[in-house]
Homo-oligomer: A and B are copies of this chain.
Amino acid sequence: MRARGGRVTTARRSLLEALFASSGHCTAEDLAAIVQAKMPDVHISTIYRNLDELERLGVLVHTHLGHGPASYHLASSPHGHLVCERCGETVEAPAEMFAGLARSARKRFGFRIDPRHFAVLGACAACVAAEPAPVSFAGRRKFTQRGPGGSLGDR
């Protein structure tokens, strides 16, 4: 499965292991930390280069869950993401939830959407409940990734 056209280096093997071991949604720095736990000399730029490479090979994809760093996960099991702007809670949205949007985008604009690349922001059930009045999103608060209670970058 590995190395279609490239070499199998220890750094790459280790990065793949980290990706398979973690259950998805890792930032590049998360992965770097895992890899560097066993191989301290692997440089962050090597991580970035290999993530790029693996993405070009179709092994993994990156998504943006918010204003912070990108998240990487294996390309199997395609899904989008819903991210709470208040608490950072992330839920995986099955691809079929986007079917209606995909259909109308194609019909109205000839557009074929890829719902995976950017998350859909909003408010999770808990934060909707905690909210006093429906403010229609006027009161945006600075988005804090990895905030307390957030599940981003956890392993």
User: Which A residues lie at the B interface, using CB under 8 A?
Assistant: 55-58, 61, 64, 75, 82, 84-85, 91, 93, 97-98, 100-101, 104-105, 108-125, 128, 137-140
Contacts and interface: CB of A to CB of B under 8 A. Distances in A.
Given A58-B139, A105-B120, 11 more contacts: A56-B140, A57-B138, A91-B109, A91-B111, A97-B104, A101-B120, A110-B128, A111-B123, A113-B120, A113-B122, A114-B121
Contacts of A111: 82, 84, 91, 122-125, 128
Given A101-B120, A139-B56, A128 B115 contact: no
B101 A98 contact: yes
Given A111-B123, A125-B111, A93 B105 contact: yes
Binding site secondary structure of chain A: mixed
19 contacts: A55-B140, A56-B139, A58-B138, A64-B64, A82-B113, A84-B111, A85-B114, A91-B109, A97-B105, A100-B101, A101-B101, A105-B120, A111-B122, A111-B123, A113-B120, A114-B121, A114-B122, A114-B137, A117-B121
